[in-house]
Structure 1
Amino acid sequence: MGLLDGKKLLITGVLMDSSIAFHVARLAQQEGAEVVLTSFGRQLRLTETIAKRLPAAAPVVQLDATSTEDLDALADRVREHVDHLDGVVHSIGFAPQSVMGGNFLTGQWDDVATALHVSAYSLKALAVAAHPLLGRGSSIVGLTFDARYAWPVYDWMGVAKAAFEATSRYLARDLGPEGIRVNLVAAGPVKTTAAKSIPGFQALDEGWPKRSPLGWDASDPEPTARAVAALLSDWFPATTGEIVHVDGGFHAMGL
């Protein structure tokens, strides 16, 4: 038996085979899970192409996490492939470059609002949309970048991640009585497509391996994907509202 044997999972954010979400999907299938992916717009065809690189075929359903229409239709779209869900992976994030890369003070509300909507509110929206398919023992796992600090160049995306982390705790509070767990994985910098879109991303990456007791390989998403898979499993039955750091130990070291 695999760690996720028989589980049915909804995984967002598979864009490239370098995506953390892609590696979560790959590991999940290897550990016995059935996987449904989401994508939307121009990215839909790309996700369908990348999905063919998984160990097994995975259907892709339309979901723009900022679209009320898509969110309302999500449960029915997923039911075309599986009758319920045991887990949901939130790997959604976006901020206009105008509010990153040193533009904190000049960021305008419309662009900040976009970052907060896509990168924070979407966790609540996705949880509510998937809620009809989730039962006792199910798990929602999101990906964050430790929002306790003001990082170089991250700016309003860092603020959005702080809101994202708070949202996960409130979801844990409200969904816990139904036996639904909500946890996050705080990864170190990983060279995904999303990361490369951050102006000055190298400012986050530089020095991370030296500061991390275990070292850190920003080109390897596997450790992060394994943590997500573990939280989706039944091995954390009494853990919710938690942020698990997968960063080589960087978060625990002083300056």
Structure 2
Amino acid sequence: MGLLEGKKLLVTGVLMDSSIAFHVARLAQQEGAEVVLTSFGRTMKITRTISRRLPTTPEVVELDVTSTDDLDSLADRLREHVDGLDGVLHSIGFAPPGAFNFLEGTWEDASTALQASAYSLKALAVAALPLMHEKSSLVGLTFDAQFAWPVYDWMGVAKAAFESTNRYLARDLGPRGVRCNLVAAGPVRTTAAKSIPGFETFENTWGERAPLGWDVRDAEPAARACVALMSDWFPATTGEIVHVDGGVHAMGQ
């Protein structure tokens, strides 16, 4: 029996087969889960194409996490494919180019990053909640926000808000039996990473600083952590951030 046998999961953020979300969907299916993906707009075609590389081609539903209409109708549209959800993966982030210059970034740059990359965790949780069972799991992907990283700037601020949002969700959804946790992954060469100016700053040094080493081309370690957190093996863990970064978070600068 697989780790997620019989479970039904909603996975956001599948754009390429290099993405952490893609590997979460793949591993989840291999572990016995039924998976539904989300995408929106012009990326719907890309997600549907990439989804065919999974062991079983899943359904893809429309979801723009900044759209009130999409969020309000999500549960009803998901019911066309599943009768409930045991897990939800938040793998969503966006910031305009101006957000990667901290001093020159405008409020419009910052607010866009905060809505798409932090508030969206709460928005997705509330939208999916009508379908989430007791003992369900919400898992999000972050990039450790305890430091002021080079080039990350307002996205780093958004990730700090994201991590705080997770703690408040753990508080408010815990009485409903829903666990809320994050995986802080080291840098992985994904579509989102390529959009960050100067991302090679992380790529070139992370492996040297990580006690366990680090491969920016390998999304599976982070994906495994996500799958584990959505399983029944962490029944009393919530509000947590699990680091999957080769150990860099524990090292001195």
C-alpha distance in structure 1 between counterparts of 2:240 and 2:98, whole Å: 31
Q: Tell me the equivalent position of 1:58.
A: 58
C-alpha distance in structure 2 between counterparts of 1:209 and 1:62, whole Å: 37
The RMSD of aligned alpha carbons is 0.5
Shift of 1:202: 0.7
1:214 to 209, 212, 223: 212
Q: Return 5+ residue gaps in structure 1 as ranges.
A: none
- SS across alignment from 2:181: strand
Asked whether 1:38 is paired with 2:38, we answer yes
C-alpha distance in structure 1 between counterparts of 2:162 and 2:83, whole Å: 28
Shift of 1:97: 1.1
Question: 1:40 touches 1:64 (CA, 8 Å); kept in 2?
Answer: yes
- Structure 1 length normalisation: TM-score? 0.99
Q: Tell me the equivalent position of 1:21.
A: 21
After superposition, residues 133-144 of structure 1 pair within 5 angstroms as 133-144=131-142
Runs (4+) of structure 1 exceeding 3 A deviation are: none
Report % sequence identity: 75
Q: Tell me the equivalent position of 1:253.
A: 251
- Structure 2 length normalisation: TM-score? 0.99
Question: 1:151 touches 1:204 (CA, 8 Å); kept in 2?
Answer: no
C-alpha distance in structure 2 between counterparts of 1:199 and 1:228, whole Å: 27
Letter in structure 2 aligned against 1:75: A
Shift of 1:206: 1.9
C-alpha distance in structure 2 between counterparts of 1:35 and 1:99, whole Å: 33
- SS across alignment from 1:209: helix
Q: Tell me the equivalent position of 1:8.
A: 8
Letter in structure 2 aligned against 1:182: C
Asked whether 1:82 is paired with 2:82, we answer yes
- Residue-by-residue CA offset, 1:206-250 (whole Å, 9 max, x unaligned): 211111110000000000000000000000000000000000001
Please say which of residues 115-124 and 196-205 is displaced more in the overlay: 196-205
- SS across alignment from 2:72: helix
C-alpha distance in structure 2 between counterparts of 1:39 and 1:2, whole Å: 27
The aligned length equals 253
Letter in structure 2 aligned against 1:245: H
- SS across alignment from 1:92: coil
Shift of 1:25: 0.1
